[in-house]
C-alpha cells in the first residue's frame, strides 16, 4: 500500500536525500514551498508532512495547519531543524519527529523507520467499518441510554443517541460484534460531539483480549486492503530500568506521548509491556513510562522485570513497536507507582526543563548508584 508525504522545503540537498529514502519505505514525496503547502493541506490528505524549519514562522504555520486539517487518521509530522537549541520549541509546536540538518541518508532512514511504523499503525487504528446496530451506553454520571452504533475501529467508534453528550465525557459501552457472537465491554472518552447526539469516542484501557478481538473483527470486515502491522524497531538497548519507567537507546525513537509495546526475549522466553514515551531524544533514545493502571498492565511490567532479573549476565533481545501515535488516559493520575520512590520516572515526567545533555547527565548520575543494565 503506497503512502503519501508532503515535503515542505527549499533545501535541494535535503530533498535529494529524502526522496529516495522515502521511496524505500513505500512513501511518495510531493515537494512544495510554505505557501503552497497551506493550500495543499486543505485539499488533500497526507500520511506524513515533512517541514523544513529554515523559516521558523512559516514552518510553524504549516505545522499548525497540518494538525487542523487532520481528519480520520493523523498525518505524522517530521521537522527538519538546523538549530538544536530550538528542539523543545518545535516539539511543543506539534512535531512528532525531528531530523537535524545536515543529515545523512542513514540518519534519515533511522527516523523514517519509526515514522513509517507509526503511519502503518495509525492507518490501521483509524480505519472505520460502517455498521448500524443498537448499543447500550453507560454515561459517566451513571445514567444508561440506548444509541445506534454507526462505525467501529480498533481505536474508537461513532454512535448517535437521543441526547447529546459532551467532549471529554467518559462512557462505557456494551457491543455485540456481528459474526463473532461475542459481546465486549469498552470504556472510552468522547473526542467530539454534535448537538444532534452524534459523537466520536476513543477507547481507553483496552484489555489484550478486547484489543485483539477488535483488530480481528475490523480486519475481517474491511472493504479495502489495510497495511500490515508495523515491524518492531530492533537494535534497541535497555540502559535504565525501574518499576515505573525505562530508558531505551535507539536510533529510531518514537515521539513523545506515543504508545508503544516493548518486547523482551531471553532464553526462549518473551514478555511484553506497554508504555508511553515521556521524552524523545532524536537519533539517540527515548524514556518510557510503563502503563500500570490495571492489574493486567502491572502484571506485564512485573513479568518484564522478572525476566531481566532471571538472566544475569545475559543481554536480552529488545524490540519496540508502536501502539498509537498519542495515548490519553492510561497515564493520567495514579498508575500504581505513586507511593514508590522512583527517580527515573520522576526524571522522565519532569524532563521539559532539561536540555538533552543535562537529561543524560542526570540519567548517568542515577545510574551510578543503581544496577547498570547497559
**Per residue, what are the HEC states of the chain?**
CCEEEEEECCCHHHHHHHHHHHHHCCEEEEEECHHHHHHHHHHCCCCEEEEECCCHHHHHHHHHHHHHHCECECCEEEEEECCHHHHHHHHHCCCCEEEECCCCHHHHHHHHHHHHHHHHHHHHHHCCEEEEEEEEEEECCCCEEEEEEEEECCCEEEEECCCCCCCCCEEEEEEEECCCCEEEEEEEEEEEECCCCEEEEEEECCCHHHHHHHHHHHHHHCCCCCCCCCCCECCCEEEEECCCEEEEECCCCCCCCCEEEEEEEECCEEEEEEEEEEEEECCCEEEEEECCCCHHHHHHHHHHHHHHHHCCCCCCEEEEEEEECCCCHHHCCCCCCCCCCCHHHHHHHCHHHCCHHHHHHHHHHHHHCCCCCC
In sign, the C-alpha dihedral spanning 296, 302, 307, 310 is: negative
pLDDT on residue 28: 96
pTM of the model: 0.82
Taking alpha carbons only, the member of 125, 101, 95, 66 closest to residue 255 is 95
* Interval 98-128: pLDDT, tens: 999 999 999 999 999 999 999 998 888 778 8
Phi then psi for residue 263, to 5 deg, are -115, 130
Dihedral sign, Cα of residue 169, residue 209, residue 328, residue 244: positive
pLDDT above 80 for 69: no
Mean pLDDT score, 134-155: 86
Least confident stretch, 162-166, 236-240, 333-337: 333-337
- Distances from the Cα of 225 to the Cαs of 1, 28, 129, 220, 230, in angstroms? 8, 18, 13, 11, 15
The whole-number average pLDDT for the span 195-222 is 86
pLDDT at 203 over 50: yes
> For the chain, where do the domains classified as CATH 3.40.50.2300 start and end?
3-126
For residue 17, the model assigns a pLDDT of 97
CA-to-CA distance for 354 and 100, rounded, in angstroms?
Answer: 19
- The three cell numbers locating residue 320: 519496540
Mean pLDDT for all residues in the chain: 87
Which residues have CB under 8 Å from 110's CB, separation 6+? 251, 252, 283
| pLDDT of res. 358 | 94
Position 368 pLDDT exceeds 90? no
Q: What is the pLDDT of residue 167?
A: 84
Whether CATH 2.40.10 fits 237-368: yes
370 Cβ neighbours under 8 A, 6+ residues apart = 240
Rounded to an integer, what distance in angstroms lies between the CA atom of residue 274 and that of residue 252? 18
Q: How far apart are CA 297 and CA 208, in angstroms?
A: 9
Q: Taking 90 as the threshold, does the pLDDT of residue 304 lie above it? A: no
The predicted pLDDT at position 202 comes to 87
CATH architecture of 129-221: Beta Barrel (2.40)
The answer to whether 11 and 55 are in contact (CB under 8 A) is no
In the chain, CATH 2.40.10.220 sits at 129-221
pLDDT for residue 254: 96
Are 127 and 109 within 8 A, CB to CB?
A: no
CATH number assigned to the domain with residue range 3-126, chosen from the 4 options 3.40.50.2300, 3.20.20.120, 3.40.190.10, 3.90.1200.10: 3.40.50.2300
Amino acid at each position: 500500500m503506497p503512502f503519501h508525504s508532503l515535503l515542505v522545503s527549499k533545501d535541494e540537498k535535503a530533498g535529494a536525500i529524502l526522496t529516495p529514502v522515502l521511496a524505500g519505505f513505500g512513501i511518495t514525496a510531493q515537494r512544495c514551498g510554505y505557501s503552497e503547502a497551506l493550500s495543499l493541506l486543505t485539499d488533500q490528505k497526507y500520511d506524513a508532512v515533512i517541514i523544513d524549519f529554515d523559516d521558523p514562522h512559516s514552518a510553524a504555520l504549516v505545522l499548525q495547519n497540518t494538525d487542523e486539517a487532520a481528519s480520520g487518521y493523523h498525518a505524522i509530522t517530521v521537522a527538519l531543524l538546523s538549530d538544536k537549541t530550538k528542539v523543545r520549541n518545535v516539539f511543543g509546536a506539534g512535531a512528532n519527529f525531528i531530523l537535524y540538518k545536515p543529515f545523512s541518508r542513514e540518519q534519515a532512514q533511522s527516523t523514517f523507520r519509526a515514522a513509517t511504523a507509526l503511519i502503518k499503525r495509525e492507518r490501521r487504528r483509524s480505519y472505520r467499518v460502517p455498521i448500524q446496530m443498537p448499543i447500550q451506553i453507560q454515561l459517566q454520571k451513571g445514567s444508561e441510554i440506548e444509541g445506534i452504533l454507526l462505525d467501529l475501529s480498533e481505536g474508537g467508534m461513532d454512535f448517535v443517541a437521543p441526547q447529546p453528550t459532551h467532549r471529554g465525557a467518559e462512557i462505557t459501552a456494551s457491543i455485540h460484534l456481528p459474526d463473532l457472537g461475542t459481546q465486549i465491554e469498552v470504556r472510552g472518552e468522547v473526542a467530539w460531539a454534535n448537538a444532534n447526539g452524534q459523537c466520536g469516542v476513543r477507547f481507553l484501557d483496552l484489555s489484550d483480549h478486547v484489543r485483539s478481538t477488535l483488530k480481528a473483527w475490523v480486519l475481517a470486515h474491511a472493504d479495502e486492503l489495510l497495511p500490515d502491522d508495523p515491524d518492531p524497531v530492533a537494535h534497541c538497548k535497555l540502559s535504565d530500568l525501574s518499576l515505573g519507567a525505562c530508558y531505551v537507546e535507539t536510533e529510531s525513537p518514537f515521539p513523545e506521548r506515543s504508545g508503544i509495546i516493548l518486547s523482551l526475549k531471553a532464553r526462549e522466553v518473551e514478555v511484553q509491556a506497554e508504555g508511553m514515551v515521556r521524552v524523545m531524544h532524536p537519533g539517540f533514545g527515548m524514556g518510557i513510562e510503563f502503563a500500570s493502571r490495571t492489574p493486567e498492565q502491572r502484571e506485564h511490567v512485573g513479568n518484564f522485570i522478572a525476566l531481566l532479573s532471571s538472566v544475569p549476565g545475559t543481554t536480552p533481545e529488545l524490540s519496540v513497536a508502536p501502539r498509537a501515535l498519542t495515548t490519553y488516559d492510561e497515564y493520567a493520575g495514579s498508575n500504581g507507582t505513586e507511593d514508590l520512590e522512583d527517580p527515573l520516572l520522576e526524571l522522565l515526567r519532569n524532563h521539559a526543563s532539561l536540555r538533552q545533555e543535562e537529561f543524560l547527565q542526570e540519567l548517568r548520575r542515577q545510574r551510578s548508584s543503581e544496577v547498570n543494565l547497559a
